[in-house]
Amino acid sequence: MVRLPVSCLDLDQIARSGQCFTWEPVGDGGWRIPHRDRLVTARQEGDSLLLSCSEAELEDTWRAYLDLDTDYAAILASIDPADPCLSRAAERGRGIRILRQDLWEVMVCFLISQNNNIARITRSVAALRAAYGRPAGAFRAFPRPDELTAASEAGFRAMGLGYRAGYLARLVKALSGGGLGRLEEALSAADDQEAEALLMGFHGIGRKVADCICLFGLHRTDFFPVDTHIRQVLSAHYPQGFPFDRYQGHLGIVQQYLFYSDL
């Protein structure tokens, strides 16, 4: 067990912010968090974060995953106090951090998130892991593209994916056999505009989903995904336009405050 002091982090807010769909609640306010082939249980006691891992695992995996080295207090301090909407949103969601998630997992989750809700996405993701994920100790890891090649579009549809089953079947075909590794290399060499265009080249991935993948799967924090919730917030509170220039470098974090507050 590792205990470390932390500020501007709230596990419940992160879990309910719409960026991750594999966390599972456990007793005493804790969360069971899988990441690739690792699993940790996380709890908070006051200003302390407790993780069921060793110091080595913290440094190898969980420090980066939870984005513990980013100064979120400085980001919160940068918000214009004369902006009542964003100030209120940041106060409500001040414990949100942008997780450094696995790219493939994020691609699948947001591909099937379209015209969907968090509860149903979570159930579908759990079904994918249960049916096709490889055993990794006490849980099943999120299945990689090659582990999904035997799955059918009809099988995906039976897991509640609806019309998105076709999107996932085509994505698996495109990224199995080394395709995911090639995509990761291409995205690593791409600037933000190029990365967005690369992702939008896949069937079923439009601009909003591509922007979510860039933010949550690549940790490119200048992406500001605009869905129905955010579009309504911008229309209601920023008729003259949102001050994007002021928040360059962490626009995606600001977007999460607005999204969480609106939810």
Interacting residues of 156 by C-beta distance below 8 A, sequence separation 6+? 164, 165, 168, 169
Question: Is residue 200 a contact partner of residue 188, using CB atoms and an 8 Å limit?
Answer: no
* Cα–Cα dist 166/117, whole Å: 18
Neighbours of 19 (CB within 10 A): 23
Annotated active-site residue in 173, 208, 229, 237: 208
Phi, psi of 205 (to 5 degrees): -105, 110
To the query of whether residue 208 is one of the catalytic residues in this protein, the response is yes
Type and span of the H or E element at 127: helix 118-132
Query: Token pair for residue 244?
Result: 């994007």
Output DSSP code: residue 70: S
List active site positions: 208
